[in-house]
Structure 1
Amino acid sequence: MDGLLKVGRLFFAAALVFFGVEHFIYVGGLKGPIPGPPWIPGPHPVAVLAGAALIAVAVCIVTEKLARLATVLLGVALFLYVLFLQLPRFIAQPHSPDPWTSGFELLALMGGAFVLARIETPDGLRFEPTNKALSHLATFGRVAFAIALVVFAVQHFLYAKFVATIVPAWIPARLFWSYFVGVAFVAAALAIVTRQMARTASVLLGMMFFIWVVILHVPRVAANPRNGDEVTSLLVALAMSGASFILAESFASDPVA
């Protein structure tokens, strides 16, 4: 297996494991509905089941057992989550950046799950999706991932001054980096959709997300480890890095899908 794909699968699976752990941690400390996203709003038993399911998918990815089926189910679950739980938030709060950010983060991870399903080794199960179906899902996943990048880019342009405040203070020209990342997102999205330099763009995107994990999110979590939003942001960045590396490998291993 290509080393890049190994890294992508590991990052993606690790994020899923800790998303699952988050469910258990926050269930134990809250009396009301679990705050979203990516936590599942609803009764505690639902959150526990969701956490267990995320960990189970991660185990399937790492062990390469039932990985195709598990990642397809994950992608479908994330799509339904966005459709039935995030879309009403878009409609109710169209000018709020929060539902846009969280909703399209989940769509991007859905895209990564569908692309990974396409390049996973089949288990030979009778109810496993066909290669043709997986090819369509992978195409849909790539497009969804690219659309999410465009949304993130627009947010970087609209809220550039706020984004600049998140950039570590020791990095000069913080406002410049806010716009730079927005342009990088658009460039990566165009490369993915047009399939021109798509593998290179996906690799660079994955590296950028991982750099954020190291220099931005890890220090913020270390400074405030009880802040669930900071932990979630770290895990989203790690998952996005993994998904980007998975996309990169998919362009090499399945160039026509």
Structure 2
Amino acid sequence: MRTADTGRVVFALAFVTLGLLSVFSQDFASVWQPVPQDLPGRAWIAVVSGAIMTVGGVGLLLKRTLVPAAFVMMMYTLLWLLALHVPRVILAPMHEVTWGGCAEIVTLVAACWVLYASMATSSDKPYFASLTGANAMHAARIAFAVALPLIGLEHLVYAKETADMVPGWLPYRIGWAYVTGIAHIAAGLAIALNVLPRLAATLEAWMMGGFTVLVWIPSVMATPSQRFAWTGLMISTVITAAGWIVAASYGEVPWFSLSRLRNRKIELVV
């Protein structure tokens, strides 16, 4: 199976699992969906939200429904971003944690956009020409790139909290917090500047995957009955898969090309 399909399948399955967790718990994804506790009808809205993720995820698995599902999930994650995270940034602009949370949702919007931009044709429904093609793909990648430094800064600002999540058997845990933070920032800059973008996006996806494997899988194994652990695992998984979707979109770009102009020309014909 191609890397692009693997990323899409994992992306879809993570959404399905997050959706089912919301449906059965009648609650939103912990931390990621900071819906006020006193919101009227909160439990039912959580079920609807979970159903959208579940159905959207299933749609992303099937080739015949991939385009409409990618569009729906792009709009849903964008709504999620604008309604739940942007207001928190506006209210607390000096708190990096709000920017980091916002950036994580941006990676989902970007991945859904990459899928839609690369797959949608004029015969598909819905079809919006401005959201497809090379220029739209470039914009989606830039959105992903801009999100990465914000995630990296969160690692640096909250280095102690990040280090606490590093497995105890790894030496220099605080060092890993700083290294991963700097790596997020470097990957974002490389993608945004179109210098070694394929390599940067791929290494970013591998790093995200390593975090998922080393941090969240052991957490689920230690507390398999806790919804928080499963939610954390699926959140980390879906971000990792988003990274793989973006990385796979650079399939025609040379691994070690330092030419911004050449990379851009290749993007326009992919």
TM over 0.5: yes
Residue 229 of structure 1: SS of its match in structure 2?
helix
| Alpha-carbon distance change, 48 to 143 in structure 1, aligned in 2, over 3 angstroms | same
| Alpha-carbon distance change, 159 to 148 in structure 1, aligned in 2, over 3 angstroms | same
Q: CA deviation at 1:228?
A: 3.5
CA displacement, residues 121-169 of structure 1 (integer Å, 9 cap, x when unaligned): 6482353223x43234433322221121111111111111221111000
Of 70-79 and 108-117, the range deviating more from structure 2: 70-79
Count of paired positions: 251
Residue 169 of structure 1: SS of its match in structure 2?
coil
Q: Distance in 2 between matches of 1:143 and 1:70?
A: 22
CA RMSD of aligned residues (A): 2.4
Residue in 1 that maps onto 2:90: 91
Q: Distance in 2 between matches of 1:172 and 1:231?
A: 26
Amino acid at match of 1:52: A
Residue in 1 that maps onto 2:215: 216
State, as a whole percentage, how many aligned pairs show the same letter.
26
Q: Distance in 1 between matches of 2:34 and 2:136?
A: 25
User: Which of 122, 131, 134 matches 1:133?
Assistant: 131
Gaps of 5+ in 1: none
Q: CA deviation at 1:113?
A: 0.8
CA displacement, residues 168-227 of structure 1 (integer Å, 9 cap, x when unaligned): 000111111111101111121112112222112111111111122212101112222344
TM-score, normalisation: structure 1: 0.87
Kept in 1, the 8 Å contact 2:29–2:231? The answer is no
Residue in 2 that maps onto 1:38: 33
Residue in 2 that maps onto 1:47: 46
Note the 1:95-134 alignment, pairs <5 A: 95-120=94-119, 122=121, 124-125=123-124, 127-130=126-129, 132-134=130-132
Residue in 2 that maps onto 1:77: 76
Residue in 2 that maps onto 1:149: 148
Q: Distance in 1 between matches of 2:115 and 2:34?
A: 22
Q: CA deviation at 1:106?
A: 0.9
Gaps of 5+ in 2: 253-265
Kept in 1, the 8 Å contact 2:163–2:176? The answer is yes
Q: Distance in 2 between matches of 1:89 and 1:11?
A: 29
Residue 66 of structure 1: SS of its match in structure 2?
helix
Q: Does 1:26 align with 2:21?
A: no
Amino acid at match of 2:200: A
Residue in 2 that maps onto 1:61: 60
Amino acid at match of 1:235: M
Q: Distance in 2 between matches of 1:22 and 1:217?
A: 16
Instruction: Point out 4+ residue stretches in structure 1 off by more than 6 angstroms.
Output: none
Q: Distance in 2 between matches of 1:109 and 1:127?
A: 20
Amino acid at match of 1:58: G
Kept in 1, the 8 Å contact 2:33–2:84? The answer is no
Of 164-173 and 188-197, the range deviating more from structure 2: 188-197
Residue 186 of structure 1: SS of its match in structure 2?
helix
Q: Distance in 1 between matches of 2:122 and 2:73?
A: 17
Residue 224 of structure 2: SS of its match in structure 1?
coil
Q: CA deviation at 1:40?
A: 5.9
